[in-house]
Structure 1
């Protein structure tokens, strides 16, 4: 771990990430990179350049990609990893983590989250505010779990999937990669193909 943390993305999601980093109290300085030149500061922290400038700071900083869009976050983080930059995870101090839990690099776990035993979380996931993941659950890489999501035990969420705010996934359910599950939706059986799913219980609304 280095003395500096650079957060890529200075908008709303970046602000929450910065707040977690501040509360973790592990870095002497925290700054942002953002491609929007009109943003000079965020959360009172300086924006020191664009995403491409990350490589200038390769040897002196840890990095976190604070981009909400799963596909863009994946693209940026994979380049950082490939080029040997230090990508770290951020876990809010209030999080409750059970025994035998694994959390991949670049993942953010936000305030009020509960992760129960023997759960596996992949690279660069967003486990958002006050969500809960029960035992033996697998969250694959680049998944976004929105605030207040409830995931029961022995669930698998495929790569790049997005679960909307307040959605619920019943136990022993598998959700295919690249799905979008709407706000407040309830998933009670396997989702076996990509698409957008809404309702109680969910139904597919696009192809």
Structure 2
């Protein structure tokens, strides 16, 4: 199996460790302009993943929360067959769950029945996505987040570690939610929220 990782900072290295455990015989290519040597992998320029030479590679996005728009652009441009979701074997899934192309679900997470996760989403360790929740493309969900039932979360959002999102809450696109926040009300697109009780704030105070 040939695997390509697009971007190779801390997140890309983390993804590779999970993929190596699952696919022991995989041959890795790293697409990154800031890395010249990676043990056990070939290094290619960042944009080379688009070349025909890599058309047989299964691709994963190693870009973190600072590059959510780029994650969305990449996953939208690549054939879904070349960018299957990765779901760690320890993940518990309910029935009728949908997980989009290029998404990555870390160990210990629970994805409840009829949850829909978009393309290029990252679900970190020990996250709970409750029933009938929708998460938009290229959203980043940090460790320990709990998303209660029927929540609607937009595209390119960042949800900080340990945050709790209440039942039925709607979160717009490009929202930033700080670590440990408790979200009990709808949040409009582009807003930043922190705290318990939740309050709106400047994005620089959240990330």
Q: Does 1:129 align with 2:132?
A: no
User: Are residue 100 (structure 1) and residue 96 (structure 2) matched?
Assistant: yes
Instruction: Write the distance in 2 (CA, Å) between the matches of 1:15 and 1:94.
Output: 20
> Where in structure 1 are there 5+ consecutive unaligned residues?
none
Alignment-derived partner of residue 71 in structure 1: 69
Report the RMSD for the aligned CA atoms in angstroms: 1.8
Counterpart in 1 of 2:173?
177
CA distance in structure 2 between the aligned counterparts of 1:27 and 1:138, rounded to whole angstroms: 34
Specify the alignment match of 1:11 in structure 2. Answer: 9
Q: 1:76 and 1:123, CA in 2 relative to 1: closer, same or farther beyond 3 A? A: same
Q: 1:126-205, aligned counterparts within 5 Å?
A: 126-205=122-201
> Runs (4+) of structure 1 moved beyond 6 Å?
none
User: TM-score normalised to the size of structure 1?
Assistant: 0.89
Distance in 1, Cα, partners of 2:42 & 2:197: 44
Deviations 1:27-66 (A, max 9, x none): 63123111104x411xx43242112221143333111111
Do the aligned partners of 2:151 and 2:170 also contact (CA within 8 Å) in 1?
Answer: yes
1: distance between equivalents of 2:143 and 2:158?
A: 11
Report the CA distance between 1:26 and its aligned residue: 7.4
When residues 14 and 61 of structure 1 are mapped into structure 2, their CA distance, relative to the original with a 3 A threshold, is same
Q: Is the 8 A contact 1:32 1:45 kept in 2?
A: no
Contact 1:169–1:187 under 8 Å retained in 2 = yes
Of 47, 50, 56, the match for 2:45: 50
